[in-house]
Amino acid sequence: MIPKHVAIIMDGNGRWGKKRGLTRSEGHYAGSQTMEELIDASAEVGVEILTLYAFSTENWKRPKDEVNYLMNLPVKFFNQKLPEFMRRNIKILISGDIENLPKGTKKAVINAMKETEDNTGLIVNFALNYSSRSEIVQAIYGIMQDAKSNPLLLEELDEETFERYLYTRGLPDPDIVIRTGGEKRISNFLMWQSSTADLRFVDDLFPDFKKEQYLKVIEDQNHDDDSWKECAG
Ligand code: IPE
Ligand code: IPE
Ligand code: MG
């Protein structure tokens, strides 16, 4: 069975660039090419939601040039890809603090979400300026605000209600979280949502994590699932 929701921590672009005597930003460009390939592969095999960790709130601490490059990528990316996404019925969502993005980036991502909002095919959800901890804190803040006019909200608060205040509202939890680049860390990504997900850590640097490697990870998950079922009898 193909997982319904796949989430990917796209790590290793900088090292990929360095290894080739290129800049870290050139590594990010290569990563963006791989990302396009994985979007295609996901649509092809019937993944319904693909969440891609593109920029964490911690990433602001990187050198200015690199941050500028990463903030410009969505502008270029959507400029180039939106007509194709429309043609292919792909819907774009953003999980993260959109308000505090640079003006041009914010405009590009809001436009991409608006243009594609009625599309009913693959959902590509970019975690951009994302932090799992901030997401949880802003959810609590939202609940407190709404409780002022609706005190029952606090009394009736449960997991389902809480989830409606997360950036990922309306999306099912990821079935599998893949991290490329060899590090075994979550790095502040979907901590609430991935409570029950399979975690897969792969050594490929993200630009090298092509369709073939991606499908293999999804396939492996199937085999693992089956063997578990056999064991459980
Ligand atoms: C991409 O990989 C992650 C992003 C922030 C876009 P990195 O830039 O973290 O690459 P490494 O881990 O330094 O190799
Ligand atoms: C995680 O990678 C964030 C993204 C993929 C956007 P990082 O390279 O930023 O994470 P750390 O620094 O290894 O935890
Ligand atoms: Mg990294």
Which one of 11, 188, 206 would you pick to mutate in the ligand 2 pocket, going by the greatest count of ligand atoms within 8 A of its CB? 11
For 5-130+173-232, CATH number?
Answer: 3.40.1180.10
List b or e across 59-96, with b for residues whose CB sees 16 or more CB atoms inside 10 angstroms.
beeeeeebeebbbbbbbebbeebbeebeeeebbbbbbb
Asked whether residue 21 carries a pLDDT value surpassing 50, the answer given is yes
Q: Is 59 a catalytic residue?
A: yes
Looking at residue 233, its pLDDT comes to 45
Asked whether residue 152 carries a pLDDT value surpassing 90, the answer given is yes
Neighbour tally for 197: CB within 10 Å: 18
Distance 131 CA to ligand 1 centre (A): 16
Asked whether residue 232 carries a pLDDT value surpassing 60, the answer given is no
* Residue with CA closest to ligand 2 atom 11: 187
* Pure H helices in 127-195: 132-149, 152-155, 159-163
Q: Is 175 a catalytic residue?
A: no
Distance 30 CA to ligand 3 centre (A): 14
- Map tokens 């994302």 to a residue: 130
User: Would you place residue 15 in the very low, low, confident or very high pLDDT band (cuts 50, 70, 90)?
Assistant: very high
Please write the tens of the pLDDT for every residue from 37-85.
999 999 999 999 999 999 999 999 999 999 999 999 999 999 999 999 9
CA pair distance 23, 148, nearest whole angstrom: 51
Distance 84 CA to ligand 2 centre (A): 29
Whose atoms come closest to the Cα of 132: which ligand?
2
Please write the tens of the pLDDT for every residue from 75-130.
999 999 999 999 999 999 999 999 999 999 999 999 999 999 999 999 999 999 99
CA pair distance 2, 118, nearest whole angstrom: 24
What's the burial of 42, exposed, middle or buried (CB within 10 Å: 0-12/13-18/19+)? buried
The structural domains of the chain, with segments of one domain joined by +, span: 5-130+173-232, 132-170
